[in-house]
């Protein structure tokens, strides 16, 4: 017991020394950036793909990267292929049960019955209810939860499905839309999508500029 205790104490002291050393270094050096030239919060920037010479190959690689955002639960939970919205990083069915209805929920239990124009932290416990204006499901034709990057790419390029959006429109949407922006500001208790909207928009722009090619299925 004594030896074990001594060993444990020595280990703890060593760990504290390492921690203290790290803290001292942090105090005297600039704080570590969340982004590198090629990556922001887990999402690669277009620069990371610059070495790929062929437009088609580079474009497809760019799309695969940006699809990490679109297929992330913060986005895909409200882009269901069928049924109602899902919730959480495990994308379980929405609770309370919610249906698509007319796109904004059922008559009498619309999305806005609970979701307001902004996230709201609960007054009586930790957590929050997400919100943005207007809080709504994506159209059924833009349901892509569970899709592969290749399937997603073909889907969002199809103007019969995407609301008549051109590649330029998609770039603008991904770069500027405030509901898209919510994915990085999801409120207490939810993990944000990788990257940030600026990087997501830049990836979309680079993908479109390289021809808007899709990854292989």
Partner 1 sequence: MAVSLKINGENRALEVDGETPLLWVLRDDLRLTGTKFGCGIAQCGACTVHVNGQPRRACVTPVSTLEGADVMTIEGLEGPEADAVRAAWAEYDTPQCGYCQSGQIMTAAALLQRTPKPTDEDIDNALAGNICRCATYVRIRKAVKAAGERLEG
In degrees, rounded to 5, the angle at the alpha carbon of residue 64 between the alpha carbons of residues 62 and 70 is: 110
Interface with partner 1 (CB under 8 A), residue total 25
Q: Which stretch binds partner 1 (CB under 8 A): 56-64, 119-127, 134-142, 169-177?
A: 119-127
Q: Does 107 bind partner 1 (CB under 8 A)?
A: yes
Sequence-separated contacts (24+) of 51-58 with Cβ below 8 Å? 55/210, 55/211, 55/213, 56/210, 56/211, 56/213, 58/210
Q: At what angle do helices 55-70 and 197-209 cross, to 10 degrees?
A: 150
How far is 196 from 212, CA to CA, in rounded Å? Answer: 21
Q: Does 169 bind partner 1 (CB under 8 A)?
A: no
Taking contact as CB under 8 A, which single stretch among the options 23-31, 85-93, 94-102, 152-160 is the one that binds partner 1? 94-102
Task: Verify binding: residue 82, partner 1, rule CB under 8 A.
Answer: no
Among 23, 38, 50, 97, binds partner 1 (CB under 8 A): 97
Does residue number 110 form part of the binding site for partner 1 (CB under 8 A)? yes
Residues near partner 1 (CB under 8 A):
95-99, 101, 106-110, 112-114, 116-118, 120-125, 127, 129
């Amino acid at each position: 017991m004594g030896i074990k205790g001594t060993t444990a104490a020595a280990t703890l002291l060593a760990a504290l020394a390492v921690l203290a050393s790290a803290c001292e270094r942090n105090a005297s050096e600039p704080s570590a950036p969340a982004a590198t030239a090629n990556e922001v919060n887990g999402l690669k920037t277009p620069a990371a793909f610059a070495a790929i010479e062929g437009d088609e190959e580079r474009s497809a690689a760019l799309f695969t990267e940006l699809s990490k955002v679109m297929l992330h639960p913060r986005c895909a939970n409200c882009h269901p292929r069928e049924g109602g919205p899902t919730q959480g990083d495990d994308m379980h069915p929405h609770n309370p049960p919610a249906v698509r209805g007319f796109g904004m929920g059922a008559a009498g239990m619309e999305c806005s019955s609970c979701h307001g124009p902004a996230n709201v932290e609960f007054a009586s416990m930790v957590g929050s209810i997400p919100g943005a204006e207007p809080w709504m499901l994506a159209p059924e034709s833009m349901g892509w939860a569970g899709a592969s990057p290749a399937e997603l790419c073909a889907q969002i390029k199809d103007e019969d499905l995407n609301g008549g959006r051109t590649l330029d429109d998609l770039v603008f949407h991904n770069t500027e839309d405030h509901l898209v922006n919510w994915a990085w500001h999801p409120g207490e208790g939810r993990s944000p999508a990788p990257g940030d909207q600026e990087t997501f928009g830049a990836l979309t722009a680079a993908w479109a500029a390289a021809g808007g090619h899709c990854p292989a299925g």
